[in-house]
Structures are given as structure tokens and as C-alpha cells.
Amino acid sequence: MKVLVIGANGQIGSQLVTKLHDGGEHDVRAMVRKEEQKKAFEDKGVEAVLADLEGSVDEIAEAMKGCDAAVFAAGSGGSTGPDKTLLIDLDGAGKSVEAAEKAGVDRFLMVSAIQAHNRKNWSEKIRHYFAAKHYADRMLMNSSLNYTIVRPGGLENEPGTGKVSAGENLDRANIPREDVASVLAAAISNENTYRKGFDLVSGEHSIEDALNQLS
């Protein structure tokens, strides 16, 4: 499959692009916001495209053309305010879902947050962030797309271990961003992840086993 990575310059997105580019199973296209980011990917031999999540659905749809799958790995991050949470994490995701429908990109993977589906377990300090992720996920589930919603726990920068735990409802725990990227790469064409959402933390299972046992 040809896979568009949205938020390719982010911490999970950039690792996912590398894994897909090196892995050989899929082709990858990196979607970024700035010309210098695009050039940096192209210098490494990675196809890249410019589009702004604060732009129009048409602009994002154009960037997706010819892809078979899209992964939303973008986020406004911790250095901007909750206004950007609404415009990027919620509306950027919602527009990407609409763009995928428009461009005929049927497969869509969303990077969400652990327990985003379960209001009573939202982190008190960033409840507004969980609200944005919650509704982005619901818009995707209400769409016509073949979705997978990956809800990782607390993100770490340690190297990945390749050992994870995945399930409908998991206790809050951490996981290296590299393992999240590996799970996304493995989930793209794993049919047992189609039309499902799951929490994801570090654990005892290989990624393949963890995805195959999802119910």
C-alpha cells in the first residue's frame, strides 16, 4: 500500500516514515507543513508533500491522492494553547478524515490517546486534550473509512522494546514512541485491526501477537 503519514515531522510520525521507507512492505509519502521539512525528507529519498492541517479539506485531499492508506500522527503539541488543540488535534483530524473520503483513501489509522473513549479516565490536567481526541476518534468511527484507532499511553523517547500490550481497556502506563510507530506500521494491513480501537502500552507480547489477539 501507499501510505500517507500526516504529521510526518512529529516524533511518532518521523519514526513511522523511516520504518515504512526502510521496511519495503509499503510505499510512504510524508505530509509536512514547511518547505524545509519537505526538502529534508526528499534528501533522504522519501517522497514528501506540502499541506497545512489548518488549510482546506481540498488541500489535504490533494496531498493524499493516489494513496491507499493515511495515518494521522499529527498533534499541536504541548507548547501551543488549547485553541490549537481545537484547530489541529480535533479539526485537523476531522478534515483529514473528510479528505480521505474525498480522495478515496479507504484505510485510515488514527493516533489517539489511552482511554480517550472513556471520559472517566481522562487525565484531569489535560481533559480538554482528551475531549479533542475523543471527538476526532468519533468522527472517524462515524465516517465511511476502514479505521484503526491506536490509543497509546504516556509517550517516552526511550528506544522501542518491540514488546507491547494492546486491548480495549488498559490501565494507564507508558510506551516508547518507537513502539507506537512499529505498531502503526504493522497495523496498516493487519485485518484484525480493521474497524477497531485499542489502548496500547509497553507489555509482554510481540507486536504481531498483540494485534492478532485483539477482539
CB of 14 to a copy of itself, least distance (A): 26
Q: In the bound complex, what is the minimum distance in angstroms from residue 208's beta carbon to a copy of itself?
A: 34
> By CB under 8 A, what part of segment 86-105 binds a copy of itself?
86-87, 90-91, 94-95
**CA angle (72 as vertex; 70, 73 as ends), nearest 5:** 130
Backbone angles phi, psi at 30, to 5 degrees: -95, 120
How far from the centroid of its chain's Cα atoms is residue 54's Cα? Answer: 17
Site string for a copy of itself, 105-134 (x = CB under 8 A): --------------xx------xxx-xx-x
Tell me the β-bridge partners of 6: 31, 72
Which among 10, 15, 7 is positioned nearest to 158, based on CA atoms? 15
Residue 78 interacts with a copy of itself (CB under 8 A)?
no
Q: How far is 84 from 54, CA to CA, in rounded Å?
A: 9
Taking the complex as a whole, the smallest distance from the CB of residue 166 to a copy of itself amounts, in Å, to 26
3-state secondary structure of 133: helix
Contact status: 85 vs a copy of itself (CB under 8 A) = yes
Q: Is 82 in the site for a copy of itself (CB under 8 A)?
A: yes
Q: Which is nearer to a copy of itself, 142 or 213 (CB)?
A: 142
User: Which set of grid coordinates corresponds to residue 44?
Assistant: 533522504
Contact between 84 and a copy of itself by CB under 8 A: the answer reads yes
**Residue 184 to residue 210: CA distance in whole angstroms:** 12
- Is residue 81 close enough to count as binding a copy of itself by CB under 8 A? yes
Nearest in space to 50 (alpha carbons), one of 59, 58, 26: 59
Q: How far is the CB of 108 from a copy of itself (least distance, A)?
A: 17
Neighbours of 59 (CB within 10 A): 15
Of 38-77, which residues contact a copy of itself (CB under 8 A)?
A: 56-57
* 135 is annotated as an active-site residue: no
Rounded least distance, CB 183 to a copy of itself, Å: 27
**C-alpha dihedral sign at 175, 179, 137, 132:** positive
Note whether 139 binds a copy of itself by CB under 8 A. yes
Among residues 129, 135, 147, 194, the one annotated as catalytic is 129
The residues carrying an active-site annotation are 129
